Amino acid sequence: MPTSPPASSPLRSAEELDAAIRALFSHRDARLSDVQRAEYRRLLDELRQVEQRDVTAAA
C-alpha cells in the first residue's frame, strides 16, 4: 500500500522533490540502502501526487 505524506503537511513542489531524489544519488556509490530505497519510494509517491494535482488543476 503506497504511503502518503501526513494530511497536515502540504505536498512539496516537484522541484523540491526532484532535488531530494537527486540528493539520494549524489554520492559516488549509487547503491541505496534499504532506508534510502524506502525514502526514494516515498518521494516518488509524493511526486505522483503533485503531478496529479497539477494535471487536475490544469484541466
Q: pLDDT tens per residue, the chain (59 residues)?
A: 455 544 445 678 999 999 999 998 887 777 889 999 999 999 999 999 998 887 777 76
In whole angstroms, give the CA distance from residue 41 to residue 44: 5
Under 8 Å between Cβ of 4 and 50: no
* pLDDT, position 38: 97
